[in-house]
């Protein structure tokens, strides 16, 4: 069927209008996609970038110089909290911890950990978990007495002195080499199971501590997979305060304190 002239003219205008509309839509979409991000979008984008960078960094090998620099920076800021005491490295005889009473005066601990300890115990209480603080600061003399008592107990069971001493030192440090002398170490037991045994590992209270203590500046000091490094048998109840920044770093990178110290102090950084 042939269209008359008015119909042709009308069709032309309709087609022209549709073409203009389509061109406008394309232009608007391109302009919008190229437009600068507003403040909120910029913030979200930056946060996403930072999170991605952090996740990538956590996958980096510990030999990475950037990671080493971060470790050293944390150490320099928190030297008082990161003092290393172990079988090979004795605590200076001049070391004097600033002590504060905890557990209603029953124990003494470093004042540096007090507020974060309260926060951690309060956080655990929110899940219905309660704890018994079995041990905190110990003097060098007290540490020696405990070592002597444990050795004598094994001698009474038939061991030689050398055998008893070797057995005791699997879980107890010699006097002058115990973290408890810093006031920064705590033996934390479940309130309904105040036995210092590996059974603590199965308790929900202990599991919560091992998963969350780093958020409050504490680390599990003698992990199961680090016995050859720490030279101490696995102790799921022994927690050490190192500060929140260092605790998070060690938790993220699966480091014990010896490994952190080795990276921060002894490895050369280019």
Question: Is the C-alpha dihedral spanning 200, 204, 207, 213 positive or negative?
Answer: negative
Give the chain's length: 270
What are the angstrom distances between the C-alpha of 152 and each of 137, 159, 160, 171, 220?
Answer: 23, 9, 10, 15, 29
Cα separation of 220 and 257, whole Å?
A: 9
- Which residue among 165, 181, 205, 235 is the active-site one? 235
Nearest of 107, 85, 89, 111 to residue 99 by alpha carbon: 111
Is 235 an annotated catalytic residue? yes
Beta-bridge partner residues of 190? 131, 193
Question: Is residue 242 within 8 Å of residue 117, measured between CB atoms?
Answer: no
| Residues tagged active-site | 235
């Amino acid at each position: 069927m042939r269209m008359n002239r008015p119909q042709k003219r009308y069709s032309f205008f309709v087609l022209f209008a549709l073409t203009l509309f389509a061109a406008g839509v394309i232009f608007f979409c391109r302009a919008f996609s190229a437009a600068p991000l507003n403040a909120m979008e910029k913030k979200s984008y930056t946060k996403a970038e930072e999170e991605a960078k952090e996740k990538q960094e956590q996958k980096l090998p510990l030999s990475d110089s950037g990671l080493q620099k971060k470790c050293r920076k944390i150490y320099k800021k928190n030297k008082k909290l990161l003092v290393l005491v172990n079988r090979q490295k004795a605590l200076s005889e001049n070391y004097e911890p600033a002590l504060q009473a905890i557990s209603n005066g029953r124990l003494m601990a470093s004042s540096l950990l007090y507020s974060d300890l309260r926060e951690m115990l309060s956080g655990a209480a929110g899940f219905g978990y309660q704890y018994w603080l079995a041990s905190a600061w110990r003097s060098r003399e007290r540490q020696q007495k405990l070592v002597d008592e444990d050795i004598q107990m094994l001698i009474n069971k038939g061991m030689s002195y050398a055998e008893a001493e070797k057995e005791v030192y699997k879980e107890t440090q010699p006097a002058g080499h115990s973290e408890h002398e810093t006031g920064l170490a705590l033996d934390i037991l479940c309130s309904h199971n105040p036995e210092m045994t590996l059974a603590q590992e199965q308790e929900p209270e202990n599991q919560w501590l091992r998963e969350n203590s780093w958020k409050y500046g504490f680390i599990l000091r003698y992990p199961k997979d680090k016995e050859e490094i720490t030279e101490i048998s696995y102790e799921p109840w022994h927690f050490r305060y190192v500060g929140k920044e260092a605790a998070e770093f060690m938790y993220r990178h699966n480091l014990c304190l010896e490994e952190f110290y080795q990276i921060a102090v002894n490895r050369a950084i280019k």
